[in-house]
Structure 1
């Protein structure tokens, strides 16, 4: 993407909320020779916890006024739940006073960190109308924003979760999982955050596996849970459900997994089941796509639209084991792909991405090549959004 006459010739200094989030870090192109965009570092809320970015310090009217000479643009991604609505109204007023543009990426039309969505909806009603530019991750989410607020965001796809490597470099080895005849269908409940329907998903998963096993299919369920969770009572119900299911189900409880351990755990699945009762988009879907692990996604939000290609994602109803069983069958069966324009030819049959197979390794390599190109495209798309936002504010204040 070229820009013949950029509105802002110097690097655009973006106050990203938060800059330290993996998604936000992935928006910069490390191969770019001249940095056109720089992210300001997150001021630490507490120096004693250098890894914690919340509550986001830059999302504050007083901070913006004190640092206005260091910022060209505010880009809000996550963390608004740290503040009441009045705080965000004050931020918007300060930006207008300081003539600084606001860009808002609508990641979440419902907030996965909250049960009561009323505060988040109030935040959307402030930020979406006020933003000089809007971004979201999928066309269906853009449709929803347009229908509700009369503004259509720019759609920019979610970039890689796993580092895709450097152009021209050797592909890094990713785990492909342990090969085996059993079809392993798993769910990672992690710490049972508010949007995770832990016991409901496990109940549906176990019933779907039982139904598939009754047909003779060698299917097993695997449930993964952090030792430290936000809802101990729900964790106890999950343990009892898995215990009662017998040898066709296993439960793994452990400390929070680091990135490498999480990738290995995911790679040992033939299908990863999302356990969400509400949500909009999913970084988990992107991680699974990087690892070429098929995903069964509940029909909430727009996660299934992130990778709608055959064999990547199938949808199910959270309270319907039959729909999950059908999704598993669709994901582990060879996929019919029409690779010819001749309607009389039979479509090609492509194997499913089963754990431990060379086909999965090949898919991972292909996905990494696509991710490297996407990294350039995502960075260029954000640069274009920033330049439009700066031009809008410059035109209003001229």
Structure 2
């Protein structure tokens, strides 16, 4: 039995690396609960395991340390101390490179500084796409094992039926306007496009916290501008708290297309959930989204926006049949991922 401290263990990506049925001989420690009990989508926050003191005190509980997410606010020196603590107890470090550019950081340097610690120090590296692996090889001279993103919705939810006869609906979920999101040029183009497509509509979803003056994500100017889109024909603006998982699945299935309004990023769990549910995705040209799934790509990054390519993508999907990944395919993929991770862990421990 291999005991793994996965950071964070409760994230859906990590949970779906274990077999759905049976065992792969890997036990992942539960996430320790922070003193303030704070939780965000994806797990407890911040991850208690990302602390050299916690590792020093609990190193006897695990054989291997696997980092995924959660180091957004950690200083490079702290990460160096974590690496030192692991090495001092001869505990292998595995790192899955999810983000080459952190979607929560307007400045790329803080994340890059952490990668400059983690990537050279890791005993084994994993990433999700060949493009990300090539970037790691080019920038750090390290080889990554490329493994696909697992399913996001639970396997027993694959039987959820999409609404019958739903009209062509394009959705843009601006969430809480995290730093990599720039919805306005995207929305302006989409409003013009759907106006020329009979029966088409655009739904803009916003988290209510951007309207709260006491909230970290308060954005009065942007929120006012977003609400103005509802004055346009065929456009609906919906303000709501964070969706529960079931609410999110119902929302995604109500869409024909989900457009990702990202100026920068690398990979996307949202994209995977869409394909689990049969919702097409139009993703930006930044990052490696098109290598995750066969989605439409429009020109959008920190330096340019190509409205013609976005318009073209919407028109191509207007009469297209939706693609939905099957439960059988995702179940087989999950078994493969469990086996592949077990093999990586064994090699790192050897």
Task: Report the TM-score when normalising by structure 2.
Answer: 0.91
Find the residue that maps to 1:376 and give its secondary structure: helix
- Is the Cα contact below 8 Å between 1:61 and 1:94 reproduced in 2? yes
What's 1:330 paired with?
A: 316
Task: State the distance in 2 between where 1:217 and 1:325 align.
Answer: 15
What's 2:213 paired with?
A: none
- 184, 193, 196: which one aligns with 1:208: 193
What's 1:262 paired with?
A: 248
What's 1:90 paired with?
A: 81
Task: State the distance in 2 between where 1:172 and 1:133 align.
Answer: 33
What's 1:349 paired with?
A: none
- Is the Cα contact below 8 Å between 2:207 and 2:239 reproduced in 1? yes
How far does residue 292 in structure 1 lie from its aligned partner after superposition? 1.1
**Aligned pair 1:374/2:333, yes or no?**
yes
Q: Deviations over 1:187-217 (max 9, x none)?
A: 111222222213333223223334xx0xx54
Task: State the distance in 2 between where 1:151 and 1:24 align.
Answer: 23
**Aligned pair 1:198/2:183, yes or no?**
yes
217-226 vs 68-77, which moves further? 217-226
**Aligned pair 1:275/2:261, yes or no?**
yes
- Is the Cα contact below 8 Å between 1:289 and 1:367 reproduced in 2? no
**Aligned pair 1:67/2:58, yes or no?**
yes
- 72, 76, 100: which one aligns with 2:91: 100
Task: State the distance in 2 between where 1:178 and 1:257 align.
Answer: 22
Moved over 3 A (4+): 47-52
How far does residue 282 in structure 1 lie from its aligned partner after superposition? 0.3
Find the residue that maps to 2:172 and give its secondary structure: strand
Task: State the distance in 2 between where 1:208 and 1:282 align.
Answer: 25
What's 2:230 paired with?
A: 243
154-163 vs 193-202, which moves further? 193-202
- 168, 174, 188: which one aligns with 1:183: 168
What's 1:338 paired with?
A: none
Task: State the distance in 1 between where 2:140 and 2:260 align.
Answer: 29
Task: State the distance in 2 between where 1:19 and 1:136 align.
Answer: 17
**Residues 48 and 164 of structure 1, relative CA distance in 2, 3 Å threshold:** closer
Find the residue that maps to 1:80 and give its secondary structure: coil
Find the residue that maps to 1:82 and give its secondary structure: coil
What's 2:296 paired with?
A: 314
Task: State the distance in 1 between where 2:250 and 2:161 align.
Answer: 6
Q: Deviations over 1:96-143 (max 9, x none)?
A: 111110000000000112111111000011101110000001111111
How far does residue 40 in structure 1 lie from its aligned partner after superposition? 0.7
- 263, 280, 303: which one aligns with 1:294: 280
- Is the Cα contact below 8 Å between 1:177 and 1:264 reproduced in 2? no
What's 2:214 paired with?
A: none
Task: State the distance in 2 between where 1:132 and 1:44 align.
Answer: 27
Q: RMSD across aligned C-alpha pairs, in angstroms?
A: 1.8
- Is the Cα contact below 8 Å between 1:15 and 1:71 reproduced in 2? yes
Find the residue that maps to 2:209 and give its secondary structure: coil
What's 1:42 paired with?
A: 31
Task: Report the TM-score when normalising by structure 1.
Answer: 0.80
Count of matched residue pairs: 337
**Aligned pair 1:126/2:113, yes or no?**
no
- Is the Cα contact below 8 Å between 2:38 and 2:45 reproduced in 1? no
Larger of the two Rg values belongs to structure? 1
How far does residue 234 in structure 1 lie from its aligned partner after superposition? 1.6
Q: Deviations over 1:331-378 (max 9, x none)?
A: 2344xxxxxxxxxxxxxxxxx11xxxxxxxxx54x5211001111001
**Residues 209 and 172 of structure 1, relative CA distance in 2, 3 Å threshold:** closer
Task: State the distance in 1 between where 2:8 and 2:251 align.
Answer: 28
